[in-house]
Structure 1
Amino acid sequence: MQFKNYRSKNLISSLTFCAAAFLIFAAATFVRAQDPDDVIRTETNLVQLNIGVVDRQGRPITSLTRGDFNVYEDGVKQTIQRFEPVEAPFSLVLMLDMSGSTINFRQQLKLASQRFLDALAPEDRVAVVQFDAKVKQLTTFGTDRMKTAYAIDLANGKGETNFYQALKFALHELDKEGKRRKAIVVLTDGLDTQLRTYDRQSVSGAQTNEDALKAIRPQESPDLNAVLSAADRQGVTIYPLALPSGDPKRLPLQTPNITGIYAAARARLQHLADRTGGRLNEINQLQYMAQLYREVAASIRTLYTISYQANGVDRTRGKWHEIKIEVAPSELTARTRPGYFAR
């Protein structure tokens, strides 16, 4: 009898243990099976926009208030939850192309990017990232301009251009800056080594420049769209400064294959700027590089930032959401990113 009781108790204990183990395993499996985007979906519904406003003569307007803006998503008016005036500080990543294509004008490049620092507000936090075959952070975010300028002076490199990996790294670092206003200013020819290899394979049979560009379909690049998705989520505005070495119109030998590759790289830079509300600045002559840097810094200092929780629209993942900004008075023009894909 005692033996039977012992066996019964032992059987119950074993079953209890097995049931508990199963529940733990099932819970762990469920956690692993969740889409990571699902975990942050509520958070990513908060849309952050950097907005520039100009009058009919193109002059920036910097004295507007929250009540002067109306935001529409897919035609539905949204409630502005947070408004920051043009004086609010930014977190900025200054990205420097240190690949082989910039070796001949390094000193000029460094001096021009250091002038960019002079045009920023004192509270703007700046990090510096260089990229060639590798991606390297030269300084973390800070307001010490002398330290940042020294880091720029130390920038060096050669060889390949790991451009899109560098952009992903910069966005990852910006994510640590929380809800601050954010932007990336990147000096490059845009000729990412890995994408260049893929593009070369795509254009192998092209007979004309137009055929080559159609074969590449530059805006469909997974690396490009991964960068845009991360920028959308954080509200990051990207300002490419395009070096003349990447200009397809300056190629000494303009075959369809080569022209297509260069045109695709430049088209991706344009798309980065347009989709994030920035502006592509083409450096036609190197002596104007410092001036363009200062103009970009001045443009950043005229941006308002608005955040809203998207309501009343279809949140289906992958759906494009169009954004429209109205400003009072009506003769003013607002510029921001055109929309985003839902996550």
Structure 2
Amino acid sequence: MCLTRTLVLSKPFTLGGHSAAVVSTLILALMLATPLFGQSNPAPSPDYSVHINVPVVTLDVAVQNQEGLFIPGLSRENFRILEDGVPQTITSFSFRQSHVSIVLLVEYSAGGSGLQDNAMVAAQGFIGAMKEDDWTALILFDKKSRILQDFTQDKQALYASLRQARVPLSREINLFDSLDDTLTRMEGVEGPKYIILIASGLDTFSGRTLDQTLDKIKLEKDTIIYSIDTAQGLGHRQGENQMRVFARLSGGKMFFASSIQDYADVFRDIAQGIRSRYSISYHSTHRAQDGSWHKIQVEVTPPPGVKVKYQVTAREGYRARLPLEVHAVGSK
């Protein structure tokens, strides 16, 4: 049975000078989204200060062998987590192949130089690869972002949303604002969260800078970005580098795709990667709310008697929240 989450991404607020949704949906969104995703009122409690002073860091870790195959069956004892070089105590560990929440964030501008069709084919192909219990949403952006479909398990609704996309009129690209906007909207979603960013990596219109966008990615340490570069071979080295950094900082991966077969291979790799990850949590030994950057290193040792080199993919680190940021997000 297909279900639809109610206005998770479409909760109204204005970002980057553009209105993101119709104001009349606000009351319904707040009433229905809260019980669905376990949000709670930020009322103070006796142990609130204790909670925020002992930050919990959760990592999604992918482990592959030299052939690129994902490795299941590892235990907590095979992992070692270091933060700023200091070993951390793992408090929670699991291997999951569960349902996920994914936002397809697709550049859709008039300046695509023939790459527009590739982006739309990419979106359709990825929707087709989703499992029945996955939640998927679709956002297109040129000089502003448009939520064509909020989270749903209905693939036909997603296909219909793609068909509703009009011919792009603007040549401007609002990448930084759109990515920041999407990360903010996903804060209310629980469970594994991913953004599939299909774009050239260029930005011509955002109010935000690259540094501000990277800082946002560092702060939102539970959303992973997979980026698909649609502008390879066009001399867009800056855009390529930006797409690579988005993925690397968040613990994801960047791909290139030019043909339908390329996209099929990319979708298969992403689909396998998001379902074959170890979820590892620890209480950071760094408790200061000072906005500082903390480097994370994940080491994996094979089981006894197994001789293999592992390739580990995980978030590189995170930025500690400042006191005002902690207050704003409550228990996040």
Pairwise same-fold verdict (TM > 0.5) = yes
Q: Which amino acid aligns with 1:119?
A: A
Rounded to whole Å, the distance in 1 between the matches of 2:54 and 2:160 is 36
By how many angstroms is 1:171 displaced? 1.0
2:256 to 275, 282, 285: 282
- The residue number in structure 1 matching 2:74 is 64
Rounded to whole Å, the distance in 2 between the matches of 1:227 and 1:116 is 26
- Range moving further from structure 2, 317-326 or 282-291: 282-291
By how many angstroms is 1:305 displaced? 2.0
Rounded to whole Å, the distance in 2 between the matches of 1:107 and 1:334 is 33
- The residue number in structure 2 matching 1:174 is 186
- The residue number in structure 1 matching 2:210 is 221
Contact 1:97–1:187 at 8 Å: present in 2 too?
yes
By how many angstroms is 1:297 displaced? 2.1
Rounded to whole Å, the distance in 2 between the matches of 1:229 and 1:39 is 23
Contact 2:63–2:313 at 8 Å: present in 1 too?
yes
1:322 to 266, 289, 295: 295
Contact 1:133–1:158 at 8 Å: present in 2 too?
no
- The residue number in structure 1 matching 2:173 is 161
- Range moving further from structure 2, 159-168 or 276-285: 276-285
Rounded to whole Å, the distance in 2 between the matches of 1:263 and 1:113 is 23
Paired residues in the alignment total 267
For the aligned residue pairs, the C-alpha RMSD in angstroms reads: 2.9
By how many angstroms is 1:309 displaced? 2.0
**What is the DSSP-based 3-state SS (H/G/I as helix, E as strand, rest coil) of the residue aligned with 2:282?**
strand
Question: Is residue 192 from structure 1 mapped to residue 203 from structure 2 by the alignment?
Answer: yes
Rounded to whole Å, the distance in 2 between the matches of 1:107 and 1:56 is 34
**What is the DSSP-based 3-state SS (H/G/I as helix, E as strand, rest coil) of the residue aligned with 2:205?**
helix
1:333 to 299, 311, 314: 311
Matches within 5 A, 1:13-52: 42=52, 45-52=55-62
Matches within 5 A, 1:51-130: 51-102=61-112, 104-130=114-140
Evaluate the alpha carbon distance shift between residue 44 and residue 154 of structure 1 in structure 2; reply closer, same or farther with a 3 A threshold: farther
The one-character-per-residue Cα deviations of 1:148-196 (angstroms, maximum 9, x if unpaired) are 2222232333311111111112112211113x1111101100111136x
> Can you give the 5+ residue segments of structure 1 that lack an aligned partner in the other structure?
1-37, 199-219, 252-261
- The residue number in structure 2 matching 1:208 is none
Contact 1:171–1:230 at 8 Å: present in 2 too?
no
The one-character-per-residue Cα deviations of 1:229-274 (angstroms, maximum 9, x if unpaired) are 3432xx2111111112xx4x534xxxxxxxxxx4333222111111
Rounded to whole Å, the distance in 2 between the matches of 1:66 and 1:144 is 36
The one-character-per-residue Cα deviations of 1:191-248 (angstroms, maximum 9, x if unpaired) are 11136x99xxxxxxxxxxxxxxxxxxxxx8333224323432xx2111111112xx4x
Q: Which amino acid aligns with 1:276?
A: S
Rounded to whole Å, the distance in 2 between the matches of 1:310 and 1:49 is 12
Matches within 5 A, 1:264-303: 264-285=238-259, 288-303=262-277
1:250 to 230, 234, 239: 234
Contact 2:180–2:213 at 8 Å: present in 1 too?
no
2:227 to 240, 263, 266: 240
The one-character-per-residue Cα deviations of 1:262-302 (angstroms, maximum 9, x if unpaired) are 43332221111111111111224466234323322222222
> Can you give the 5+ residue segments of structure 2 that lack an aligned partner in the other structure?
1-47, 322-332
Contact 1:52–1:336 at 8 Å: present in 2 too?
yes
Evaluate the alpha carbon distance shift between residue 43 and residue 122 of structure 1 in structure 2; reply closer, same or farther with a 3 A threshold: farther
- Range moving further from structure 2, 100-109 or 117-126: 100-109
**What is the DSSP-based 3-state SS (H/G/I as helix, E as strand, rest coil) of the residue aligned with 2:150?**
strand
Contact 1:163–1:192 at 8 Å: present in 2 too?
yes
**What is the DSSP-based 3-state SS (H/G/I as helix, E as strand, rest coil) of the residue aligned with 2:111?**
helix
Evaluate the alpha carbon distance shift between residue 43 and residue 127 of structure 1 in structure 2; reply closer, same or farther with a 3 A threshold: farther
- Range moving further from structure 2, 152-161 or 47-56: 152-161
- The residue number in structure 1 matching 2:148 is 138
Rounded to whole Å, the distance in 2 between the matches of 1:48 and 1:115 is 30
Contact 1:51–1:334 at 8 Å: present in 2 too?
yes
Contact 2:294–2:319 at 8 Å: present in 1 too?
yes
Rounded to whole Å, the distance in 1 between the matches of 2:311 and 2:130 is 24
Between Structure 1 and Structure 2, the one with more helix by share is 1
Rounded to whole Å, the distance in 2 between the matches of 1:39 and 1:155 is 47
Rounded to whole Å, the distance in 1 between the matches of 2:140 and 2:147 is 6
